């Protein structure tokens, strides 16, 4: 009888140890999920609920249904901000993909001199605080005292309102964005290039393929996943762009640089939190759609089906 009890107790202890072993991984990751639920999922659900309410940050929130969404979808300023962001996307993303791929190919070339220096030079703007870079941009592109207009005057060209004209304000901001983030694009594409087996290029050389043919037939197809990732990330960044227009142009002139991110911020500063929440979810849907289309277009052929 004693042996039976002892055996039963040992079996129970083994089951307890086995149960604790199975639960240990979940206990280790539980703090992350608790923090994610508190600061990720709950704010997201609360913002979705707030998008159907009228609330100024104080008092009782009033349920208004789809009124906030209807207001935004019929507001010309909302569509103008999306149009400004779309133009910025056209000025930034295609050029950045091309420039990033070219820079990555150059840095991947083992024969390039000072390769380490160029890598640091490309990534330095990305890690530099944006406010400092924006202040430099304001000084360089100032219409009256800026360096760019000074150089134009030296060759007999008139001053240009880089930050004060509706024609040049968006390209000037796009150039700032490109200067700051192209190093990030180069790193992403360089990582994709380094994953390409070197034997593929050797086989192509033996078959008589030129460098240009190797680039179009090997390099571009094999880094399309990295290009797709870059387009998705930069699409999200462009439509969330806030700091650049806020610091450099404050959305002017005449709202020509009021991006979707800056327009959303204006609702928050006006304490129109319900409309701001609705605006944010409309942007989420828009960016999700654009990212899906971009990723589909750049998906490798073997995954297209």
Half-sphere exposure of 14 (CA within 13 A, CB side): 6
Report pLDDT for 70.
93
pTM value > 0.95: no
Instruction: Dig out the tokens for 211 from the structure.
Output: 């460098």
**Ranges of the chain whose pLDDT falls below 50:** 1-6, 305
Quote the DSSP letter at residue 257: T
Q: Which of 128, 112, 127, 288 is nearest to 190 (CA)?
A: 112
CA distance 169 to 14: 71
108 alpha carbon, distance to own chain's centre: 24
Report pLDDT for 259.
92
Report pLDDT for 5.
45
Is 162:168 a contact under the CB 8 Å cutoff?
yes
Report pLDDT for 9.
60
Report pLDDT for 95.
93
Report pLDDT for 1.
44
Report pLDDT for 272.
84
Instruction: Dig out the tokens for 298 from the structure.
Output: 């750049």
| Domain residue limits, the chain | 74-304
Main-chain dihedrals φ then ψ at residue 63, nearest 5 degrees: -70, 125
Report pLDDT for 78.
92
At 71-84, the pLDDT tens digits run 999 999 999 999 99
Superfamily designation of domain 74-304: MetI-like (1.10.3720.10)
Report pLDDT for 197.
78
Is 137:248 a contact under the CB 8 Å cutoff?
yes
Of the chain, the end-to-end C-alpha distance in Å amounts to: 67
Q: Is 83 helix (H, G, I), strand (E, B) or coil?
A: helix
């Amino acid at each position: 009888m004693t042996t039976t009890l002892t055996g039963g107790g040992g079996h129970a202890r083994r089951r307890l140890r086995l149960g604790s072993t199975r639960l240990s991984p979940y206990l280790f990751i539980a703090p992350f999920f608790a923090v994610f639920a508190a600061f990720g999922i709950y704010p997201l659900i609360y913002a979705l609920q707030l998008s159907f309410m009228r609330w100024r940050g104080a008092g009782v929130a009033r349920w208004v249904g789809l009124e906030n969404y209807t207001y935004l979808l019929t507001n010309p300023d909302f569509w103008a901000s999306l149009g400004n962001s779309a133009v910025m996307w056209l000025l930034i993303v295609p050029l950045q993909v091309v420039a990033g791929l070219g820079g990555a190919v150059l840095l991947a070339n083992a024969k390039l001199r000072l390769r380490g220096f160029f890598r640091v030079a490309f990534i330095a703007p990305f890690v530099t605080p944006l406010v400092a870079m924006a202040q430099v941009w304001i000084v360089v592109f100032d219409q009256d005292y800026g360096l760019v207009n000074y150089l134009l005057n030296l060759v007999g060209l008139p001053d240009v309102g880089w930050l004060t004209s509706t024609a040049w304000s968006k390209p000037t901001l796009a150039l700032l964005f490109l200067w700051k983030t192209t190093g990030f694009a180069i790193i992403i594409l360089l990582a994709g290039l380094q994953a390409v087996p070197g034997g593929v290029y050797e086989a192509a050389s033996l078959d008589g393929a030129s460098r240009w043919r190797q680039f179009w037939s090997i390099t571009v197809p094999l880094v399309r996943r990295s290009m797709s990732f870059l387009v998705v990330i930069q699409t999200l960044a462009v439509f969330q762009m806030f700091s650049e227009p806020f610091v450099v142009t404050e959305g002017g002139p005449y709202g020509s640089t009021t991006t979707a991110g800056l327009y959303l911020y204006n609702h928050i500063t006006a304490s129109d939190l319900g409309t701001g929440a609705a605006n944010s979810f409309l942007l989420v849907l828009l960016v999700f759609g654009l990212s899906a289309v971009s990723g589909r277009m750049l998906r490798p052929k073997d995954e297209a089906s």
